[in-house]
């Protein structure tokens, strides 16, 4: 059913259609609208048989979810940024215990300096936690991925994060085809837990495991994600059969035919990238892109196949591994291990800086001209950087960088958006 | 509401705020794209086809009109004339009837009883650009605010539509229309 | 029969069992069919007070809930010694998640049970003083404030024993720990104002709060069995000596706990909706010094010379408790 | 549902981990000797009958009691209960009032007519000389062993000193008669007014396979006191005997009693009951040095008996007695001071102790006498094979309890002698001293004070002074027993073991340690209220 609706609301309504039995909420921008919506649906009775808990912290939120999931019910929560970091311990724990919790991440930067705007630093920080991480390109996909996430999580008994770009998707009103309840009911099976806290059949969950078995436990977690590599495309296919929409899957290629330059990116920026690609294609530039939906497990083979014929690979990512460069790029390079293609890292859109088509066009033309550095910071304001570096060279005590930079920005002409 | 109106006409629309941590009263921007095909771009609108300015005090802000298309529209919420606002000369490059003022706040006060000009301006916008039919604007307004508030807002929008319609000749139809709206955050 | 009303003196009013009583009214621990929730083969130290307290409490909870029990455990000694792969000593449905989140996990279990309509299942959360008073206090407070249907049991051995006896928020003044060594002008732990989780719990006005001790089995079981059927958030704080951390003799575990109670240093009371409603009156009051002397963690108060000032300060704490909770006058509960 | 590997475990799996290997000491259950049993001259197993009594099993308790002592109703009244002096409970509040429970059981047995079971006869014949406590006790035990017993009693009624030496107000005669009758019902024959003047003669008849001599000390000691013809001087036993015979002697209004033993008190209190307005006990040493039991002195004082300490009687006149004051030397011996005084008195009763008349033994060969008593070996046999002796006749305290104990011991040895073997007493357990207990587990319980007849009534009649316990009181009292040294199945060890290493075997079967899991912490031993667990080092 088509609706012009805010992304967060669409996600809330869809999660509700998956009939979770426990939802816990703790507010943090930009995820908040989702749990607000769910809270309303539970209170109004539209989502029946569901317990909605307002908890005292993100750590508490995921902990409640752990308890609920271990008791054998479908469990959901959402967070972002600092919130995800504050629950980090529980994030690893939920995965370690193999609890199929689904959690939405309204992707947002991590401070300091505190910043509420979108980038991928938060979910990237948890990429090795053992959770499956799926990135949504559009609000339609964000909506659909949640249904798939519950199925995937419960089949494998493994938690899933659905990563949705904060504000850009969560706060955008879009034209979305919302699934119908009977479709969701028909497509999403009942939750059959692998382990459950039941006085009738008592077990001890969460034993201490020593060197004698820890590696095996970890390998099995890894193996689970390898199984996910098989299931994610299948589930996407099964989803298509019921809902008639392509959503999810490991990755989505765009105009790869004969492409010499292939752009790789996660999430909503792919839309703008595709606009840029169309324009360059019209000018005869052989360029295409792949949008990676499944970041964990990372589809090494699929990526390698997609990039088979590319000469240059430009990885545009909204996160920075400080001191190294790109995390996504590192994974892409692993996918291309032993091949001669050049992989360029472009750090873009940090802390909500808009990634404009104009900047992308400029970037891709440089790529075509083979004028790209291995790591590029898109739209970096060099005036500011140079002044600060100069200051720091001049005196060791140069004060907090952020403040000085803000002073500079005030004096420099900058484009307001 | 703009995007909803467009949606109701079967068109693709995308609306999003200039995401900020603003509190009530601070100047903000919101964007809307309307198109006949799916909208993929997620960047902010930098070259608007139309600019709705809810608060004339923002008129002298640097780069306000930056990127405005040569054939673009400007609708300003004010009871005063463009000359009185001192922007007439600055905007004379635009086609005639593409720059108008409408006393949206006054109308809002009259019909809604509150100085909330948003929906009122949408009526004016529909009349000025012809991008949207009044009916869909009113429907969008009623969808956004069910109950009586919807009706009063609709009435105000209709009034604005009539006022602007008087002032303009038949406008040309655009296929892609991007609107930037300058306003103050309102509590709604 | 006339003698049925008579107290039993030979079998002792305070012994675990009592052959002259109807089995139905004897303690859980005297029952040959008790659940042994925490079973043989666990790896707790000799004379571990926490192992004892946990079996006392969970067995009582098992009887009170007719076996419909789920236990959530915080990280700590209890969790480590009870469930090292591949063995578990627990005979109840049990989960361990993290150090600081037992209360929240339990809240989740409750929510899930509620959502499934399994209202007969009772949930307990348990942890040590570190997991309760320190790192877990946030989640605990949240659980209290939401009045989640959880009985939280804290086994207080007054330091981080699992990691090697470091100071916790409930470590008593002057006590030696690995991080408050008995050196310098003021050896051992500082004389702070302390942190009473029971009083913090009472500040949430939850339906039931109680303190208990492994030295007072009848009292402990009474409180657990009273707490189990109550709906809403409940809290029981159990004093459990740690021979390793306190430097007491393994066979003295109960004796030490008893002296804590009889000196007034560990007051036994109950509170409902924020108000103290009952206290367990001290039968034979003992000086705090007797309690301190059994524990090497207080040895520096007596050797090389007596630290009269600080011994008196500790006695003052005991006196205040006795006066504050009225532990010496009034009727003891039958 | 395939559970996750390693992180999820099935319950009870820790049983494979045998923590018993950590142990350096192991607990073992022991039985220790309760101080009451240890202190009882009659060798009663007091704790075991209290244990039965506290659950209301009075018959069982009585049966257990008479295993060792056939005279509970008498003993419960007349015994000076050394068991209570030894009772550990005294360290807590007040010793258990054992004699009162014993008396309750004895009276209960009389009330309900409980009897001893008859046993198969061995065909052996034993003569017992004297039907006092030791004679009756020996006869009873011998009869229980199947031997035919005949008692020769010189007096007109059985009971010996119990009848002639103990006033009615301490031992009602119907009680005495009832317990003697019960022994006779077993087949024990008592020949009254049958004095043995020459034992050798009896032995020559070969009528008996063994003999037990149990003659009491009925001959009062005398002291030389210059006295005028008119002065009335009597001996204590004579007075007591004549009172029992129903011909009370003329003592007058003011009676002096000379001596400090229990007999002195008995006779003084008797005099009071015979109408004396003033009764004065004259004793050469202090109250502390008085051999009489303190509670009797207490009762006497309550009855208005007066005392004159540190005094000896030098001369007896018609209605006057000359008294010399004494002082105690460094060895606490009384020494004359040369200070004299005269006090009024209508009569003087001498209570200076008694002797046994041993003349009937003179012709028995090999039988040795020394300082007025008979020499016996550790089997209580005299120098003449087959002739045993006990009670007042042998060196020991002269109390009925000691006598009953002698009777039992002698009976066992006589039985062994008749079987041609030697009696082997079972070795005694280590004493259950107070420091072996953990008394915290016993709640405070004051002794049930037996209602005592009000003093006035006491002075005028021979009604029993101390009344008995009713059932609930007796039960209450029985339950004050701490069960020192012997498991009473309080479940403490089972409850306090942090490793569930104690197995409960069910009522009457106590407990067993599970050494597979016991880490040897010793908490069970420390918390055992009655000291029935001992920690012993492991041999590694």
Closest C-alpha to A35, from A189, A147, A170, A152: A170
Q: Are residues A105 and A221 in the same domain?
A: yes
Distance CA D83, CA D100 (A): 12
Distance CA D437, CA D427 (A): 22
Q: Decide if pLDDT at C307 tops 90.
A: yes
Distance CA B70, CA B48 (A): 10
Q: Which residue has the tokens 């590599």?
A: A229
User: Tens of pLDDT along C34-81?
Assistant: 999 999 999 999 999 999 999 999 999 999 999 999 999 999 999 999
Q: Are residues A351 and A229 in the same domain?
A: no
Q: Give the pLDDT score at A225.
A: 97
Residue A347 lies in a domain: yes
Whether A417 and B18 lie within 8 Å, measured CB to CB: yes
For chains A and B, what is the number of CB pairs under 8 angstroms? Answer: 75
What distance, in Å, lies between the first and last C-alpha atoms of chain B?
Answer: 12
Q: Are strands D254-258 and D373-374 parallel, antiparallel or unpaired?
A: unpaired
Q: Which residue has the tokens 């930098």?
A: B46
Chains A and C touch (3+ CB pairs under 8 A): yes
Residue A390 lies in a domain: no
Closest C-alpha to A390, from A376, A379, A405: A405
From A379-388, B35-44, D211-220, D289-298, the region with the lowest mean pLDDT: D289-298
Average pLDDT for D416-436: 93
Given CB atoms, is D15 within the 8 Å cutoff of chain C? yes
Instruction: Walk me through the domains of chain C, giving residue ranges and CATH numbers.
Output: 32-325 (3.40.50.970)
Bridge partners, residue D340, by sequence: D324
Q: Are residues A229 and A283 in the same domain?
A: no
Instruction: Give helix A401-411 / helix A382-394 axis angle, nearest 10°.
Output: 130
Instruction: Walk me through the domains of chain B, giving residue ranges and CATH numbers.
Output: 2-17+27-184 (3.40.920.10)
**H or E element, residue C200:** helix C197-202
Whether A194 and D2 lie within 8 Å, measured CB to CB: yes
Given CB atoms, is C97 within the 8 Å cutoff of chain D? no
Contacts of D181 (CB under 8 A, 6+ apart): none
Given CB atoms, is D539 within the 8 Å cutoff of chain C? no
| DSSP-assigned letter for residue D454 | P
Q: Decide if pLDDT at C8 tops 80.
A: no
Q: Are residues A183 and A224 in the same domain?
A: yes
Domain boundary among A243, A273, A304: A243
Q: Are residues A156 and A9 in the same domain?
A: yes
Compute and round to an integer the Cα radius of gyration of chain A. Answer: 22
Q: Which residue has the tokens 């100069």?
A: A390
Whether A157 and D3 lie within 8 Å, measured CB to CB: no
Q: Decide if pLDDT at B169 tops 70.
A: no
Average pLDDT for D94-103: 91
Q: Are residues A161 and A297 in the same domain?
A: no
Sheet holding A375-377, edge to edge: A251-254, A287-292, A261-266, A312-317, A342-347, A375-377
Distance CA A247, CA A234 (A): 11
Give the best residue of A76, A197, A210, A217 to mutate against chain C (max C CB count within 10 A).
A197
**H or E element, residue B13:** strand B12-17
SS3 label, residue A363: helix
SS3 label, residue A262: strand
Whether A271 and B42 lie within 8 Å, measured CB to CB: yes
Out of A118, A275, A417, closest to residue B44 by CB: A417
Average pLDDT for D224-244: 84
Distance CA A301, CA D241 (A): 122
SS3 label, residue D210: strand
Burial of B36 (0-12, 13-18, 19+ CB in 10 A): exposed
Q: Decide if pLDDT at D506 tops 70.
A: yes
Whether C36 and D523 lie within 8 Å, measured CB to CB: no
| Total of domains in chain A | 2
From A216-225, C292-301, D273-282, D524-533, the region with the lowest mean pLDDT: D273-282
Distance CA C169, CA C101 (A): 17
Closest C-alpha to D480, from D45, D37, D93: D93
Distance CA D256, CA A146 (A): 113
Q: Are residues A7 and A146 in the same domain?
A: yes
Q: Which two tokens stand for residue A36?
A: 């607000």
Q: Are residues A125 and A229 in the same domain?
A: yes
Q: How far is CA A41 from CA A146, A181, A190, C117, in A?
A: 17, 14, 21, 20
User: Tens of pLDDT along C150-176?
Assistant: 999 999 999 999 999 999 999 999 999
Q: Are residues A28 and A110 in the same domain?
A: yes
Q: How far is CA C300 from CA C158, C179, C244, in A?
A: 18, 15, 17
Average pLDDT for D360-380: 92
Q: Give the pLDDT score at C7.
A: 47
pLDDT band for B5, please (50, 70, 90 cuts).
very high
Contacts of B107 (CB under 8 A, 6+ apart): B117, B120, B156, B159, B160, B163
Question: Do B112 and B156 meet the contact criterion of CB atoms below 8 Å apart?
Answer: yes
Closest C-alpha to B56, from B31, B84, B32: B84
Q: How far is CA D278 from CA D266, D343, D398, in A?
A: 15, 12, 29
Distance CA A29, CA A83 (A): 9
Q: Which two tokens stand for residue D21?
A: 């290997």
Q: Which two tokens stand for residue D293?
A: 């039991």
Closest C-alpha to A134, from A41, A303, A267: A267
Closest C-alpha to C325, from C279, C271, C256: C279
Q: Which two tokens stand for residue D62?
A: 């009585």
Ordered per-residue pLDDT tens for chain A, 417 residues: 999 999 999 999 999 999 999 999 999 999 999 999 999 999 999 999 999 999 999 999 999 999 999 999 999 999 999 999 999 999 999 999 999 999 999 999 999 999 999 999 999 999 999 999 999 999 999 999 999 999 999 999 999 999 999 999 999 999 999 999 999 999 999 999 999 999 999 999 999 999 999 999 999 999 999 999 999 999 999 999 999 999 999 999 999 999 999 999 999 999 999 999 999 999 999 999 999 999 999 999 999 999 999 999 999 999 999 999 999 999 999 999 999 899 999 999 999 999 999 999 999 999 999 999 999 999 999 999 999 999 988 877 666 777 777 777 766 554 443
Residues of A in Cβ contact (< 8 Å) with D10: 203-204
Give residue A287's domain range.
251-377
User: Tens of pLDDT along D443-471?
Assistant: 776 666 556 556 655 666 667 777 777 87
Given CB atoms, is D14 within the 8 Å cutoff of chain C? yes
What distance, in Å, lies between the first and last C-alpha atoms of chain A?
Answer: 34
Q: Which residue has the tokens 């005299």?
A: D382
The CATH number for A92's domain is 3.40.50.970
Out of A24, A199, A208, closest to residue C69 by CB: A199
Distance CA C290, CA C263 (A): 8
pLDDT band for B167, please (50, 70, 90 cuts).
confident
pLDDT band for C14, please (50, 70, 90 cuts).
confident
Out of A193, A196, A206, closest to residue D7 by CB: A206
Residue by residue, DSSP assigns C64-111 as: HTTT-EEEEE-SSHHHHHH-BTT---B-SEEEE--SS-HHHHHHHHHH
Contacts of D1 (CB under 8 A, 6+ apart): A192, A193, A194, A195, A196
Question: Do D302 and D455 meet the contact criterion of CB atoms below 8 Å apart?
Answer: yes
Residues of D in Cβ contact (< 8 Å) with C2: 471-472, 475
**H or E element, residue C207:** none
Q: Decide if pLDDT at B187 tops 50.
A: no
Out of C14, C92, C251, closest to residue D523 by CB: C251
Residue A83 lies in a domain: yes
What distance, in Å, lies between the first and last C-alpha atoms of chain C?
Answer: 21
The CATH number for A302's domain is 3.40.50.920
Distance CA A305, CA A286 (A): 18
SS3 label, residue D96: coil
Question: Do D237 and D354 meet the contact criterion of CB atoms below 8 Å apart?
Answer: yes
Residue A88 lies in a domain: yes
Beta strands per DSSP E along D305-412: 306-308, 311-316, 320-328, 334-344, 347-350, 354-355, 369-370, 373-374, 387-389
Report the length, in residues, of chain C. 334
Given CB atoms, is D132 within the 8 Å cutoff of chain C? no
Domain boundary among A195, A212, A243: A243
Q: Are strands A160-165 and D311-316 parallel, antiparallel or unpaired?
A: unpaired
Average pLDDT for D423-436: 93
Q: Are residues A70 and A175 in the same domain?
A: yes
Residue A324 lies in a domain: yes
Give how far C11 is from chain D: nearest CA, Å.
6
Out of A98, A192, A202, closest to residue D4 by CB: A98
Q: Give the pLDDT score at B57.
A: 85
Average pLDDT over all residues of chain B = 85
Q: Are residues A211 and A360 in the same domain?
A: no
Q: Give the pLDDT score at D461.
A: 67
Q: Decide if pLDDT at D119 tops 60.
A: yes
Whether A206 and C84 lie within 8 Å, measured CB to CB: no
| DSSP-assigned letter for residue C134 | I
Give how far A167 is from chain B: nearest CA, Å.
6
Whether D6 and A206 lie within 8 Å, measured CB to CB: no
Q: Are residues A215 and A265 in the same domain?
A: no
Given CB atoms, is D10 within the 8 Å cutoff of chain C? yes
Residue A310 lies in a domain: yes
Whether D475 and C39 lie within 8 Å, measured CB to CB: no
Q: Which two tokens stand for residue D331?
A: 């060895």
Distance CA C264, CA C174 (A): 17
pLDDT band for D251, please (50, 70, 90 cuts).
confident
SS3 label, residue D391: helix
Distance CA C264, CA C325 (A): 9
Beta strands per DSSP E along A200-246: 203-205
Average pLDDT for C222-229: 98
> Above 0.90 for ipTM, yes or no?
no
**Phi, psi values for residue D42, rounded to 5°:** -85, 0
- The pLDDT > 70 percentage for chain B reads 87
Given CB atoms, is A65 within the 8 Å cutoff of chain C? yes
Q: Give the pLDDT score at C264.
A: 96
Residues of C in Cβ contact (< 8 Å) with D478: 10
Give CA D250 to chain center in angstroms: 34
Helix, strand, coil shares of chain D as percentages rounded to 5? 35, 20, 50
pLDDT band for D353, please (50, 70, 90 cuts).
confident
Search chain A and give the residue with CA nearest B9. Answer: A4
Chains A and D touch (3+ CB pairs under 8 A): yes
Domain boundary among A243, A276, A303: A243
Give the best residue of A201, A204, A224 to mutate against chain D (max D CB count within 10 A).
A204
Residues of D in Cβ contact (< 8 Å) with C80: none
Q: Give the pLDDT score at C18.
A: 80
Q: Which two tokens stand for residue C269?
A: 């009371």
Sign, CA dihedral A35-A36-A40-A46, equals: negative
Q: Which two tokens stand for residue D292?
A: 């009489």
Sign, CA dihedral A126-A131-A134-A140, equals: negative
């Amino acid at each position: 059913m088509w609706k012009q609706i805010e992304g967060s609301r669409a996600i809330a309504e869809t999660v509700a259609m998956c009939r979770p039995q426990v939802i816990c909420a703790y507010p943090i921008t930009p995820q908040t609208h989702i749990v607000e919506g769910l809270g309303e649906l539970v209170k109004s009775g539209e989502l029946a048989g569901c317990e909605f808990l307002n908890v005292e912290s993100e750590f508490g939120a995921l902990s409640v979810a752990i308890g609920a999931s271990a008791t054998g019910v479908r469990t959901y929560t959402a967070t972002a940024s600092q919130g995800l970091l504050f629950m980090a311990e529980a994030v690893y724990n939920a995965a370690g215990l193999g609890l199929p919790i689904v959690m939405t991440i309204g992707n947002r930067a991590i401070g300091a300096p505190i910043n509420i705007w979108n980038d991928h630093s938060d979910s990237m920080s948890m990429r090795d936690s053992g959770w499956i991480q799926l990135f949504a390109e559009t609000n339609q996909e964000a909506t659909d991925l949640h249904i798939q996430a519950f199925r995937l999580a419960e089949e494998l008994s493994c938690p899933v994060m659905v990563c949705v770009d904060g504000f850009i998707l969560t706060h955008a009103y879009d034209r979305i085809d919302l699934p119908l309840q009977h479709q969701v009911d028909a497509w999403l099976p009942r939750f059959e837990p692998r382990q459950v806290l039941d006085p009738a059949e008592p077990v001890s969950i969460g034993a201490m495991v020593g060197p004698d078995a820890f590696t095996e436990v970890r390998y099995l977690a890894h193996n689970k994600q390898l199984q996910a590599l098989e299931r994610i495309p299948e589930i996407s296919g099964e989803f298509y059969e019921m809902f008639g929409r392509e959503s999810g899957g490991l990755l989505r290629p765009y105009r790869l035919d004969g492409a010499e330059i292939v752009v790789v990116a996660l999430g909503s920026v792919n839309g703008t990238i595709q606009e840029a690609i169309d324009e360059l294609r019209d000018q005869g530039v052989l360029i295409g892109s792949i949008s990676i939906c499944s970041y964990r497990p990372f589809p090494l083979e699929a990526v390698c196949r997609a990039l088979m014929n590319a000469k240059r690979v430009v990885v545009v990512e909204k996160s920075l591994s400080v001191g190294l460069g790109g995390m996504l790029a590192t994974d892409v390079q692993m996918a291309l291990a032993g091949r001669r293609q050049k992989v360029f890292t472009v750090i873009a859109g940090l802390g909500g800086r808009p990634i404009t088509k104009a900047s992308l066009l400029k970037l891709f033309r440089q790529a075509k001209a083979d004028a790209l550095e291995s790591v590029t910071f898109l739209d970096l304001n060099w005036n500011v950087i140079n002044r600060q570096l100069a200051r720091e060279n001049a005196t060791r005590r140069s004060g907090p960088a952020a403040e000085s930079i803000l002073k500079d920005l005030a004096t420099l002409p900058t484009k307001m958006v | 509401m703009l995007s909803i109106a467009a949606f109701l006409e079967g068109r693709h629309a995308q609306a999003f705020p200039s995401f900020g941590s603003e509190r009530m009263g601070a100047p903000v921007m919101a964007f809307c794209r309307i198109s006949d095909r799916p909208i993929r771009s997620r960047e902010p609108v930098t070259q608007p086809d139309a600019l709705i300015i809810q608060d004339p005090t923002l008129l002298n802000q640097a780069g306000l009109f930056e990127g405005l298309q040569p054939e673009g529209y400007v609708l300003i919420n004010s009871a005063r004339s463009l000359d009185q606002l001192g922007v007439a000369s600055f905007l004379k490059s635009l086609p005639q009837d593409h720059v108008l003022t409408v006393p949206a706040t006054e109308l809002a006060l009259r019909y809604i009883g509150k100085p909330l000009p948003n929906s009122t301006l949408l009526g004016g916008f529909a009349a000025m650009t012809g991008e949207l039919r009044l009916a869909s604007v009113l429907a969008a307004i009623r969808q956004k605010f069910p109950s009586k508030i919807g009706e009063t807002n609709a009435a105000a929008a209709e009034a604005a539509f009539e006022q602007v319609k008087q002032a303009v000749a038949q406008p040309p139809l655009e296929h892609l229309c991007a609107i930037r709206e300058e306003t103050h955050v309102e509590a709604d | 029969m006339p003698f049925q009303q008579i107290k039993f003196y030979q079998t002792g009013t305070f012994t675990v069992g009592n052959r002259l009583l109807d089995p139905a009214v004897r303690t859980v621990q005297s029952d040959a069919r008790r659940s042994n929730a925490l079973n043989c083969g666990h790896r707790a130290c000799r004379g571990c007070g926490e192992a004892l307290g946990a079996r006392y409490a969970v067995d009582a909870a098992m009887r009170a809930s007719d076996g419909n029990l789920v236990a959530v455990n915080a990280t700590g000694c209890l969790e480590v010694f009870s469930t090292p792969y591949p063995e578990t000593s627990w005979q109840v449905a049990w989960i361990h998640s993290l150090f600081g989140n037992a209360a929240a996990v339990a809240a989740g279990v409750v929510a899930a049970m509620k959502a499934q309509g399994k209202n007969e299942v009772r949930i307990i959360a348990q942890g040590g003083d570190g997991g309760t008073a320190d790192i877990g206090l946030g989640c605990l407070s949240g659980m209290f404030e939401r009045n989640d249907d959880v009985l939280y049991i804290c086994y207080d051995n007054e330091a981080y024993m699992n990691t090697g006896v470091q100071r916790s928020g409930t470590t008593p003044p002057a006590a030696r720990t690995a991080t408050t060594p008995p050196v310098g002008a003021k050896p051992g732990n500082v004389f702070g104002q302390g942190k009473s989780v029971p009083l913090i719990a009472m500040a949430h006005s939850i339906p039931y709060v109680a303190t208990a001790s492994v030295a007072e089995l009848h009292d402990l079981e009474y409180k657990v069995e009273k707490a189990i059927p109550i709906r809403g958030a409940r809290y029981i704080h159990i004093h459990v000596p740690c021979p390793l951390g306190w430097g007491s003799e393994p066979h003295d575990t109960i004796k030490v706990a008893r002296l804590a109670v009889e000196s007034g240093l560990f007051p036994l009371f109950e509170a409902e909706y924020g108000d103290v409603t009952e206290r367990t009156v001290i039968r034979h009051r003992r000086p705090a010094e007797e309690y301190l002397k059994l524990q090497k963690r207080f040895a520096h108060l007596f050797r090389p010379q007596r630290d009269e000032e600080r011994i008196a300060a500790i006695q003052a704490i005991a006196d205040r408790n006795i006066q504050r909770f009225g532990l010496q006058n009034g009727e003891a509960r039958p | 549902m395939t559970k996750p590997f390693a992180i999820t475990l099935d319950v009870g799996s820790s049983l494979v981990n045998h923590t018993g290997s950590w142990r350096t000491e192991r607990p073992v259950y022991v039985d220790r000797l309760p101080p009451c049993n240890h202190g009882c001259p009659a060798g009663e197993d007091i704790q075991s009958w209290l244990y039965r009594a506290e659950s209301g099993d009075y018959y069982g308790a009585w049966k257990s009691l008479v295993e060792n002592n056939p005279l509970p109703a008498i003993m419960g009244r007349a015994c000076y209960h050394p068991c209570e002096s030894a009772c550990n409970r005294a360290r807590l509040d007040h010793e258990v009032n054992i004699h009162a429970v014993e008396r309750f059981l004895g009276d209960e047995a009389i009330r309900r007519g409980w009897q001893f079971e008859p046993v198969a006869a061995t065909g052996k014949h034993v003569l017992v000389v004297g039907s006092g406590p030791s004679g009756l006790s020996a006869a009873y035990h011998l009869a229980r062993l199947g031997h035919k017993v005949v008692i020769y009693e010189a007096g007109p009624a059985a009971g010996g000193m119990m009848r002639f030496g103990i006033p009615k107000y301490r031992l009602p005669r119907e009680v005495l008669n009832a317990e003697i009758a019960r022994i006779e019902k077993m087949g024990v024959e008592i020949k009254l007014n049958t004095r043995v003047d020459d034992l050798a003669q009896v032995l020559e008849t070969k009528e008996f396979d063994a003999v037990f001599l149990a003659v009491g000390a009925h001959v009062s000691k005398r002291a030389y006191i210059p006295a005028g013809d008119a002065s009335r001087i009597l001996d204590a036993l004579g007075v007591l005997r004549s009172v029992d015979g129903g011909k009370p002697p003329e003592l007058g209004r003011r009676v002096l009693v000379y001596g400090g033993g229990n007999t002195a008190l008995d006779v003084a209190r008797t005099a009071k009951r015979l109408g004396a307005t003033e009764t004065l006990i004259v004793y050469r040493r202090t109250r502390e040095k008085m051999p009489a039991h303190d509670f009797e002195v207490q009762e006497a004082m309550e009855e208005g008996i007066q005392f004159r300490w540190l005094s000896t009687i030098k001369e007896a006149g018609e209605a006057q007695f000359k008294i010399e004051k004494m002082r105690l030397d460094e060895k606490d011996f009384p020494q004359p001071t040369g200070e004299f005084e005269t006090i009024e008195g209508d009569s003087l009763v001498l209570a200076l102790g008694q002797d046994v008349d041993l003349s009937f033994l003179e012709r028995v060969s090999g039988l040795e006498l020394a300082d007025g008593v008979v020499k016996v070996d550790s089997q209580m046999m005299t120098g003449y094979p087959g002739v045993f002796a006990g009670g007042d006749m042998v060196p020991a305290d002269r109390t009925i309890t000691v006598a009953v104990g002698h009777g039992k011991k002698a009976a066992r040895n006589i039985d062994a002698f008749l079987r041609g073997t030697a009696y082997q007493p079972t070795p005694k357990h280590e004493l259950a001293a107070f420091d072996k207990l953990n008394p915290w587990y016993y709640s405070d319980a004051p002794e049930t004070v037996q209602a005592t007849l009000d003093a006035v009534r006491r002075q005028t009649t021979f009604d029993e002074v101390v009344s008995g316990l009713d059932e609930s009181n007796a039960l209450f009292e029985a339950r004050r027993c701490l069960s020192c040294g012997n498991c009473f199945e309080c479940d403490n060890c089972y409850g306090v073991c942090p490793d569930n290493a104690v197995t409960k075997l069910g009522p009457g079967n106590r407990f067993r340690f599970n050494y597979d899991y016991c880490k040897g912490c010793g908490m069970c031993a420390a918390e055992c209220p009655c000291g029935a667990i001992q920690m012993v080092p492991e041999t590694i």
